[in-house]
């Protein structure tokens, strides 16, 4: 259902991490490793953020777009669905789904303006064709739930809705889209993990508040660890490494 | 979705480069013909070929690629997005979505509903000359409220409820069951919703709530309840309750005539009864002097001919409450005493209300069998077929397409002008743009062309199983 997460297609489609971490056979043949696979997705998430910043698209649209992109790659291989086309198209489709129309023309304009590299270059026609393929790949499930709503509500409930906590938590939530967390965990648990990290970081003891919540704190702590692990390694995600990974796919002559 | 074909998408594209070839998914259906046309595309009647559901009628709505070069129509996206998440007996069921990559068109397949309230009301008004019986009215309204309550409790506002969007199932297991259709304008309202007019969307004004007419900036679920109140009255009188003439001069014109029609019946709204009225832009600006205009109140009971003491009247007036905050909700309306009084509402709204009473044979939808999925009309004239063997392939039964008469309506609620309405009421002309009136009516006794279906290959390997998502 549209407003109830537990009856939504989003909930029903949640995957285990092991299922998300599968490099498709065709990509494997081309030498793509799991590391490469994750790296490309993170890089594409960053790409979507960057485009959205310039086009001035709402955060929620970006989050939905990245979720679409990550869902596509649980089903489709990168050698047939070029990430550099899938990523902007997901932003285009997410804008429609989230009611903030984004013109294909404008999108193509900004891609050209921001990236001179050939591999990002795509025309309107390519975006429109890919839009349909993405709809199909998503099995037409378009409603996505995000941690943002929960964050505001939970912070308020914990009495921690000061600017500093809110901004830190919000930033952490944004960063979770650089990982596959949204495919694996219910959004409110991702929100709690971000609040947990933020509270430790800001020296706020909210153990008592957490204990009152009827959630599995182990899951929350595990998500938090994943996020912290990601911060450890994310500095190693460079343009060079991305290029090396994406070139393995041999997408464009 | 559903057809398990997503893995073969690429192959489908490559094998269908010639546009005259049938896309693979289409071979799961027998096309019967065109049953409607709207701004976004065409609607077809088809029958499934899969062994499990052989001969089941399906309405297929084809969305053309939008003309402005912006891909899949946002209307189609909204409709898919919502209907993929919801499931309720009184909401139309989206069976499948298909894409034809060759011409970039998108098809939504729905369970076919033989009737809709527009046609049912019209049949009573123009053909039978008597009203709809109380049991049917009550059952239709109850089911409509039941579906709406489901939508509203899931934070979905329909925003375009009108008789042609309210479908009623034909003969079969779900006979007489109401299905709310056309979710092209529906929204999840987690975030406040902008007025439709901001998106340049045109919807019929007759069922539009007064707060919207007065320029309210946001939609609430109460707008759907107003529309339902108008439909309730129309079921009782067979006439649209408030038939305002639409002003079209500017992109977002002030609908003075529609408000005038409402005020004449319900009286002038007052700040005392409706406190937020003062903050509504058109009331505040009062550029048309609506505040000063004096109305002789007819009273709704005089229009619908109900005793002001009756339960029916009580419910109707609560649905047509001016203040959206005081307007009855779908959940409250379902609890109204009207539904606890005899005759009690039932699942099949179209069965006779009294033992011994004859069931009304509502006309089936006219089908234009000369139009294929591309929307092109073949030049062959329809061939008359003797009654009895008109429908091939052992389908037959209640969904046969022979002997359709009368103008077509909107099968799954595409916005287009109902034919016949032009003569009946002038103001609505032009809603829906690209409609083709007139050429779809089939003469009585003319059946579907059998070759349309005979051409199809025999039932083969069967229908791929429904692809279910995990968990």
Which chain B residues touch A141 with a CB distance below 8 Å? 1, 84-85, 469
Highest mean pLDDT among A116-120, B2-6, B133-137, B376-380: B133-137
Q: Shortest CB distance from B99 goes to which of A3, A136, A149? A: A136
pLDDT band, residue B190 (cuts 50/70/90): low
Q: Are B184 and B159 in contact (CB under 8 A)?
A: no
Rounded CA gap, B270 and B250, in Å?
28
The Cβ-side half-sphere exposure at B269, using a 13 Å CA radius, reads 23
Rounded CA gap, B422 and B419, in Å?
6
Which chain B residues touch A137 with a CB distance below 8 Å? 6, 9
Return mean pLDDT, chain B. Answer: 74
Q: What pLDDT does B460 receive?
A: 32
Top residue of A58, A96, A98, A187 to mutate, by most chain B CBs within 10 Å, is A96
Span A212-217, average pLDDT: 88
Q: B409 pLDDT exceeds 50?
A: no
Q: Does A248 touch chain B (CB under 8 A)?
A: no
Least confident of B13-27, B130-144, B197-211: B13-27
Could you give the percent of chain B with pLDDT greater than 90?
37
Could you give the percent of chain B with pLDDT greater than 70?
69
Active-site position among B160, B182, B224, B368: B160
Inter-chain residue contact A140 with B1, CB threshold 8 Å: yes
Return mean pLDDT, chain A. Answer: 92
pLDDT tens string B86-119 = 999 999 999 999 998 888 889 999 999 999 999 9
Which residues of B make up each annotated binding site for ATP? 62
pLDDT band, residue B431 (cuts 50/70/90): very low
Torsion angle in degrees (nearest 10) through CA of B210, B215, B221, B224: 40
Q: Which of these, B277, B281, B283, lies nearest to B323 by C-alpha position?
A: B277
Among chain B residues, the shortest Cα distance to A136 is held by B6
Q: What pLDDT does B5 receive?
A: 41
Which chain A residues touch B154 with a CB distance below 8 Å? 1-4
Helix (H, G, I), strand (E, B) or coil at B95: strand
Q: Does A99 touch chain B (CB under 8 A)?
A: yes
Inter-chain residue contact B77 with A124, CB threshold 8 Å: no
pLDDT band, residue B376 (cuts 50/70/90): low
- Strands B94-100 and B105-111, by their bridges, are antiparallel
CA of B471 to nearest chain A CA: how many angstroms apart?
Answer: 5
Among chain A residues, the shortest Cα distance to B87 is held by A1
Q: Which of these, B365, B447, B371, lies nearest to B406 by C-alpha position?
A: B365
Q: B192 pLDDT exceeds 90?
A: no
Q: Does A81 touch chain B (CB under 8 A)?
A: no
Task: Write the CB contacts of A210 (distance below 8 Å, at least 6 apart in sequence).
Answer: A192, A196, A217, A220
Inter-chain residue contact B84 with A131, CB threshold 8 Å: no
| Complex prediction ipTM | 0.88
In chain A, positions 219-238, which contact chain B (CB-CB < 8 Å)? none
Q: Are B387 and B14 in contact (CB under 8 A)?
A: no
Inter-chain residue contact A13 with B6, CB threshold 8 Å: no
Q: B425 pLDDT exceeds 50?
A: no
Inter-chain residue contact A128 with B71, CB threshold 8 Å: yes
Helices (H) and strands (E) in chain A, counts: 15, 0
Among chain A residues, the shortest Cα distance to B12 is held by A133
Q: What pLDDT does B359 receive?
A: 84
Q: CB A32: neighbour CB atoms within 10 A?
A: 22
pLDDT tens string B42-57 = 899 999 988 888 888 9
Q: What pLDDT does A92 receive?
A: 96
> What are the beta bridge partners of residue B57?
B47
Q: Higher-confidence residue: B37 or B312?
A: B312
Rounded CA gap, B150 and B97, in Å?
23
Phi, psi of B310 (to 5 degrees): -75, 155
Q: Are B411 and B114 in contact (CB under 8 A)?
A: no
Q: Shortest CB distance from A139 goes to which of B1, B190, B471? A: B1
Q: Does A127 touch chain B (CB under 8 A)?
A: yes
Span B445-463, average pLDDT: 32
Q: What pLDDT does B410 receive?
A: 41
Helix (H, G, I), strand (E, B) or coil at B189: coil
Inter-chain residue contact A13 with B190, CB threshold 8 Å: no
Q: What pLDDT does B252 receive?
A: 64
Which chain B residues touch A139 with a CB distance below 8 Å? 1, 6, 467, 469
Inter-chain residue contact A2 with B154, CB threshold 8 Å: yes
Q: Does A126 touch chain B (CB under 8 A)?
A: no
Q: Does A1 touch chain B (CB under 8 A)?
A: yes
Q: Tell me, yes or no, if B160 is annotated catalytic.
A: yes
Inter-chain residue contact B6 with A92, CB threshold 8 Å: no
Q: Does B271 touch chain A (CB under 8 A)?
A: no
pLDDT band, residue B250 (cuts 50/70/90): low
Take residue B453 and report the two structure tokens written for it: 């279906």
Rounded CA gap, B281 and B212, in Å?
10
Interhelix angle A59-75/A147-157, nearest 10 degrees:
130
Question: Residue B328, class by beta-carbon neighbours within 10 Å (0-12 exposed, 13-18 middle, 19+ buried)?
Answer: buried
Cis, peptide link before residue B343, omega less than 30° from 0: yes
CA of A100 to nearest chain B CA: how many angstroms apart?
Answer: 10
pLDDT tens string B207-245 = 999 998 888 877 789 999 999 999 999 999 999 999 988
Q: Does B83 touch chain A (CB under 8 A)?
A: no
Chain A with chain B: Cβ pairs closer than 8 A: 99
pLDDT band, residue A18 (cuts 50/70/90): very high
Q: B179 pLDDT exceeds 90?
A: yes
Q: Shortest CB distance from B469 goes to which of A12, A99, A132? A: A12
Q: Does A6 touch chain B (CB under 8 A)?
A: no
Q: Which of these, B146, B147, B133, B143, lies nearest to B176 by C-alpha position?
A: B143
Torsion angle in degrees (nearest 10) through CA of B401, B407, B409, B414: 110
pLDDT tens string A167-188 = 999 999 999 999 999 999 999 9
CA B397 to mean position of chain CA atoms: 24
Interhelix angle A187-201/A163-176, nearest 10 degrees:
130
CA of B248 to nearest chain A CA: how many angstroms apart?
Answer: 25
Inter-chain residue contact B187 with A99, CB threshold 8 Å: yes
Q: What pLDDT does B67 receive?
A: 66
């Amino acid at each position: 259902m549209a407003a109830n997460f537990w009856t939504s297609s989003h909930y029903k489609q949640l995957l285990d991490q092991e299922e998300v971490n599968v490099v498709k056979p065709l990509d494997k043949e081309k030498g793509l490793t799991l590391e490469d696979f994750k790296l490309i997705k993170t890089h594409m998430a960053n790409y979507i953020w960057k485009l959205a910043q310039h086009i001035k698209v709402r955060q929620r649209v970006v989050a939905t777009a990245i979720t679409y992109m990550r869902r596509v790659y649980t089903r489709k291989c990168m050698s047939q669905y070029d990430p550099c086309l899938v990523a902007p198209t997901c932003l285009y489709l997410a804008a429609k789904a989230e009611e903030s129309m984004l013109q294909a023309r404008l999108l193509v304009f900004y891609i050209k303006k921001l990236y001179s590299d050939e591999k990002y270059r795509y025309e309107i026609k390519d975006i429109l064709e890919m839009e349909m393929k993405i709809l199909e790949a998503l099995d037409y499930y378009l409603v996505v739930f995000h941690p943002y709503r929960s964050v505001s509500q939970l912070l308020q409930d914990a009495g921690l809705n000061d600017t500093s906590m809110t901004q830190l938590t919000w930033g952490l939530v944004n960063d979770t889209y650089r990982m596959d967390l949204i495919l694996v965990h219910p959004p409110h648990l991702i929100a709690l993990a971000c609040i947990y990290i933020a509270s430790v970081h800001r020296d706020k003891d909210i153990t008592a508040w957490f204990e009152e919540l009827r959630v599995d704190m182990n899951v929350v702590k595990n998500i938090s660890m994943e996020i912290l692990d990601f911060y450890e390694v994310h500095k190693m995600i460079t343009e060079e490494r991305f290029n090396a990974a994406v070139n393995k796919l041999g997408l464009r002559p | 979705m559903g057809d398990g074909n997503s893995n073969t998408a690429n192959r489908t594209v490559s094998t269908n480069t010639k546009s005259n070839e049938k896309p693979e998914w289409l071979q799961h259906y027998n096309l019967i013909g065109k049953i409607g046309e709207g701004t976004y595309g065409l609607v077809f009647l088809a029958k499934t070929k899969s062994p499990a559901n052989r001969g089941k009628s399906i309405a297929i709505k084809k969305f053309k690629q939008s003309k402005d070069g912006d891909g899949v129509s946002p209307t189609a996206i909204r409709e898919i997005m919502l209907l993929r998440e919801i499931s309720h007996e009184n909401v139309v069921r989206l069976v499948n979505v298909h894409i034809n990559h060759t011409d970039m068109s998108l098809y939504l397949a729905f369970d076919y509903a033989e009737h809709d309230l527009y046609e049912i009301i019209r049949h009573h008004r123009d053909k039978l000359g008597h009203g709809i019986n109380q049991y049917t009215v009550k059952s239709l309204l109850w089911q409509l409220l039941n579906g709406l309550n489901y939508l509203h409790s899931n934070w979905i506002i329909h925003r375009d409820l009108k008789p042609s969007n309210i479908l009623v199932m034909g003969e079969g297991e779900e006979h007489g069951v109401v299905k709310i259709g056309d979710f092209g304008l529906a929204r999840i309202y987690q975030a406040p919703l902008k007025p439709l007019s901001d998106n340049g969307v045109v919807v019929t004004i007759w069922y539009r709530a007064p707060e919207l007419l007065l320029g309210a900036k946001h939609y609430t679920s109460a707008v759907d309840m107003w529309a339902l109140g108008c439909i309730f009255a129309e079921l009782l009188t067979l006439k649209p309750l408030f038939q305002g003439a639409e002003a079209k001069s500017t992109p977002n014109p002030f609908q003075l005539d529609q408000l005038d029609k409402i005020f004449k019946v319900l009286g002038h709204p007052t700040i005392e009864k409706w406190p937020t009225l003062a903050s509504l832009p058109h009331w505040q600006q009062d550029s048309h002097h609506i505040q000063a205009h004096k109305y002789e109140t007819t009273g709704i009971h005089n229009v619908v001919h109900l005793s002001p003491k009756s339960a029916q009247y009580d419910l109707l007036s609560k649905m047509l409450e001016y203040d959206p905050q005081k307007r009855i909700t779908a959940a409250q309306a379902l609890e109204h005493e009207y539904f606890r009084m005899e005759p009690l509402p039932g699942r099949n709204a179209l069965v006779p209300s009294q033992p011994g009473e004859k069931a009304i044979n509502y006309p089936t939808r006219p089908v234009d069998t000369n139009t294929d999925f591309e929307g092109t009309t073949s030049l062959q004239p329809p061939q008359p077929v003797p009654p009895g063997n008109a429908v091939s392939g052992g389908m037959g039964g209640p969904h046969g397409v022979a002997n359709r008469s009368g103008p077509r309506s909107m099968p799954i609620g595409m916005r287009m002008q109902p034919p016949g309405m032009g003569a009946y009421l002038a103001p609505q002309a032009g809603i829906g743009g690209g409609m083709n009136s007139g050429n779809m009516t089939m003469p009585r006794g003319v059946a579907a062309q059998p070759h349309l279906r005979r051409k199809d290959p025999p039932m083969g390997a069967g229908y791929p199983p429904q692809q279910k998502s995990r968990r």
